Amino acid sequence: MPEFAITLARWAAWAPGLESTADWANWDGASAHGADSPSLPWLPSMQKRRLPALARAVFHVARQAAGDDAAHLPTVLASGHGELTRTLGLLDDLAAGEPLSPAAFSLSVHNAVSGQLSIALGNRAPASCVALAGDGISTALLEALCLAGPGQDALVVIYEAPLPEHYRPYQQSDRFPWALALRLGASGTRYRLASHPGSGVAAGQGPQLARFLARGESRLTLAAPRSDWHWSRHEG
């Protein structure tokens, strides 16, 4: 049974109407209602205008979890679908015989948000982008442990949004947009993750994990098609 351990130094999560630890602790596990994206008062307007709502959520949680070290941490960004709405728009333009926007294309690729975040934070540390699939969030955590090396902090940002209507007959969709940032470090709360055969879909893993962390619970199972991952908190 594959397993590994992480030490969680800080975390931050955002979804519409869910920002504080208390918000997540009291979340009903179903709906999320509120502003479409965080305001990002620290980001210059010119950079902010280029960001879609989901990217703004990524920037918000990344800066909160990274704190004063935002310009120095190795970073892993991970999403199952990324900016799929933007990609679908490009496909619609192709189908209609319209010319493609170079800017729209450059911002549709999977590592676009990572590049924008690095620029905004002035972060020249190593960065990696992961396309989540059958193992869900754990894939990004393993990538971060390998990227950072022993004793070094790393930032993991996972994000997702509802699928465009075209794709929903073929794959289960997240019900609302969300972003979750986890700062892994040498000190903090230690968790052990162990895999078991997969039992379900990976949609909604970020909000489930945010509520688990906000409530200070000891055990959580995040289901996914290939592997379920059981989280257990180690005391002391």
pLDDT tens, residue by residue, 164-183: 888 788 877 788 999 999 99
Enclosing domain of residue 128: 3-234
pTM comes to 0.91
Helix (H, G, I), strand (E, B) or coil at 183: strand
H-only helix segments in the chain: 21-25, 45-49, 53-66, 84-95, 102-106, 112-121, 138-148, 205-215
pLDDT tens, residue by residue, 29-47: 888 888 888 988 898 888 8
Cβ(221)–Cβ(230) below 8 Å? yes
CATH of the domain at 172: 3.40.47.10
Total structural domains within the chain: 1
